[in-house]
Amino acid sequence: MKTNRWTRRAMLLLAALTVLLSGCTTYVTTQVTAFSDWSGGDATRTYAFMREPDQRNNLELTTYERIVANELATHAFRQVDSAQARYLVGLSYGIRSDVVTVAEPVYYNPWPAPYWGWGRPYDPWGPWGPFPAGYVNQSYPIFTHLLGVRITERATGKEVYNVTARNSGGESSLVRAMPYLARSALADFPLGNGVVRTVKIPLDTGAGAPNETPVPAAAPASAMAPAPASGAKAAQ
């Protein structure tokens, strides 16, 4: 689906505001779109990642597969050899950069010292005052991150689940954004067909999201139960 010019501008402006407020941001907000033909009561969730021939030695893709595999494991998926897998999982991903220009106000103080405390500690407005004297255009880089997860039946080639996660902000690294994308894409799996929603995940304020998430050791399907993605909040 193509976004029109005004919708795209609005999305970029919102992302720019996110950058401006990044100092107090506590959540990573991701838009998720899912298409599903998933049948209920499926106890055999074995899968293998599928790759194009030119991707066999792609270290970046290997890193993203590990992150996605960790999220799939929370929903009782178990990674096996492709010959024994019931499902094949394919990933698509990317990052795009834009520059957004925002008009920011420049303030002045109409009450000069000493009557209004010009720059004194008790002056609530500081040396600039509460009134905008004009506006200055400031440009900010915006990065849009994308992850697509496609699940097909190995035996028939039938697509049973296709989900896309997208977010924007000042993060210039796709690998640092990937854990949030993967967790958002697979939160509350499986979603209904044609579901579009927003997922909010608490921002890791420490060292940041890990580039590689360890995959739990495989366990018998009967011993594994689906669990919701940790820390994810969804707003329909």
- Residue 116: DSSP 8-state: S
Least confident range of 133-137, 140-144, 160-164, 215-219: 215-219
Strand, coil or helix: 56: coil
CATH code of 62's domain: 3.30.160.670
Asked if 167 contacts 142 with a C-beta cutoff of 8 angstroms, the reply is no
Angle (nearest 5°) at CA 188 between 27 and 211:
50
Identify whether 158 is part of a domain: yes
Torsion of CA 107, 110, 111, 116, to 10 degrees: -30
Q: What is the DSSP string of 143-187?
A: EEEEEEEEEEETTT--EEEEEEEEEEES---HHHHHHHHHHHHTT
Identify whether 213 is part of a domain: no
| pLDDT for 42 | 72
Identify whether 118 is part of a domain: no
Q: Torsion-angle region of residue 229: left (phi > 0), alpha (psi -120 to 50) or beta? A: beta
Q: What is the mean pLDDT of residues 181-204?
A: 96
Identify whether 55 is part of a domain: yes
Identify whether 135 is part of a domain: no
Identify whether 197 is part of a domain: yes
Question: Looking at the chain, how many residues does it have?
Answer: 236
Give per-residue pLDDT as tens, 70-81. 999 999 999 999
Identify whether 20 is part of a domain: no
Identify whether 202 is part of a domain: yes
pLDDT greater than 60 at residue 134: yes
Strand, coil or helix: 150: strand
pLDDT greater than 60 at residue 11: no
Confidence of residue 102 (pLDDT cuts 50, 70, 90): confident
| pLDDT for 220 | 37
Confidence of residue 101 (pLDDT cuts 50, 70, 90): confident
Residues sharing a CB contact under 8 Å with residue 213, sequence separation 6 or more, in sequence order = 66, 67, 70, 179
| Count of structural domains, the chain | 1
Q: What is the mean pLDDT of residues 8-23?
A: 50
pLDDT greater than 70 at residue 53: yes
pLDDT greater than 60 at residue 223: no
Domain that holds residue 38: 30-101+141-208
